[in-house]
Every structure is written in structure tokens, then in C-alpha cells.
A = this chain, B = another copy of it.
Amino acid sequence: MKVLVKTDILGRNENAAAENAALFARRGIYALNLLGSPGAGKTTLLERTLTALSGELRMAVVEGDLFTVKDAARIERCGAPVVQINTSGGCHLDASMVAAALAQLDLTALDLIVIENVGNLVCPAEFALGEDAKAVVLSIAEGDDKPLKYPLIFKESAVAVLNKCDLLPHTDFDMAAARRDIEALHPGIAVLPVSSRTEEGLAAWYAWLRAAAAKKRDVR
């Protein structure tokens, strides 16, 4: 019974996700579903990205959060169009929530939409939003055992950003072990150690985004 209900919810979500994907394809917009635990640093990474790439990519953000508009306010200060989705306690975004948010954005002149999901390393990985790719942000303060403990999100993501690398000297995080585990879960995934605080490593992240958006634009 429980399984049937879950299958039904996921089935309806897949349909809505396909409609979002078709909309992104028509517009030539690259859509990224940004995932990670609470406090992994998703919003700070986005702030850096919007500032650094504002001259070359036209970007908008959809912000998922349980109740607050704190993150949307931070994004707005970067000058990017942003729509807040509040899930009222719900643990993930679904494709119909994103569809409603997209209706509030001007999609005629965009290269990249980043959808920041609810802070949660489990549930959001199960719900497609129509995105071109998922990106998972893991704070190195969370520990190097997390990829094997939360494998689905790493299997689903095209890129893993290992954030807060400025804290490496103050933790026991084993970067080689983390990289090995992530690449074993998902051969071909891009593993990018960065610090949004010191900006170390961010150039590789920007290059990844730039290439992804350019590829989508060329298809258009």
C-alpha cells in the first residue's frame, strides 16, 4: 500500500518534470538542481557564482526552503531574478512546485537556472525537477564517510562540490578517500574541492557551469 502510494506520487512527479524539461529545452536554458545537507554552503556558493558569472551568463534562481525567505533575500542582493518556494515543512521540492515558480520568471533571456533544493541529503535525490543535471554540495565539515552513507545523491549528481575546504586543516577529512568513494559510486562524476569563503577552487566550478550552459545553448 505504502509502496503503491509512493509510486503514484513519483509517477505524477515524472510527468511534471518532463514538462519542465521540455520548457527548458525550448528556451535553451540549462537547469541545475543544487542539493546538499543543511549548512553545506549551497547559498553561499550561489552568491559567489552569481557575482562571478554575471557578465557572461544570464542567470535566475529558484530557492527552496521550508518556511523562510532568508536565502531568496541573499540571492536578490546579488541582482539575480529569484523566486522563493516554501514547502511548509516538506522535505524536498517537486516538479510541480518548480513549474509554478517558473511561471513567475521571464524565461526569454536566460542561460542558466539554478534550483536550490531543501537542505537534505536524502529525499530531494528521489524527485526529478526536469533539470539537466544535479549538483551535490558536501561540506568537508560533514565528514568523509558521507558519500557511502548517502549514496543515491552522489549517484544522481553530475558534479560533487566539496565545500569549506578552508576547514581542512582543522578536521580529519580525508580528501583522497572521499574522492575515491564518490568516483566509485559514480564513475565520471566531476569532483571539485572548493572554498566559497576563500574562493579557492571556484574557477573549476565556474568552468564546469560555463561549459554546461554553452552546450545547451548550442543545441538550441
Chain A 9-38: CB-based contact to B (< 8 A → 1; otherwise 0): 100000000000000000000000000011
The answer to whether the Cβ of A151 comes within 8 Å of any Cβ in the partner chain is yes
Is there an interface contact between A164 and B149, defined as CB atoms closer than 8 Å? no
A77 within 8 A of B: no
How many protomers of this protein does the assembly include?
2
> Is there a chain B Cβ closer than 8 Å to A68's Cβ?
yes
Q: Which residues of chain B have C-beta atoms less than 8 A from A143's C-beta?
A: 39
Query: Is A174 interfacial (CB-CB < 8 Å)?
Result: no
By size class, the interface of chain A is 35 or more
Do A146 and B38 have beta carbons less than 8 Å apart?
yes
A5, A67, A120: residue with the most chain B Cβ atoms closer than 10 Å: A120
Whether B38 lies near A150 (C-beta < 8 A) is: yes
Q: How far is the CA of A145 from the CA of B65 in the complex (A)?
A: 12
Cβ–Cβ contact B38 & A121, under 8 A:
yes
A to B CB contacts below 8 Å, 21 in the list: A2-B9, A37-B119, A37-B142, A38-B121, A38-B150, A39-B139, A39-B146, A67-B151, A68-B148, A70-B149, A89-B122, A89-B126, A91-B91, A91-B122, A119-B149, A120-B121, A120-B122, A139-B142, A167-B170, A167-B171, A170-B170
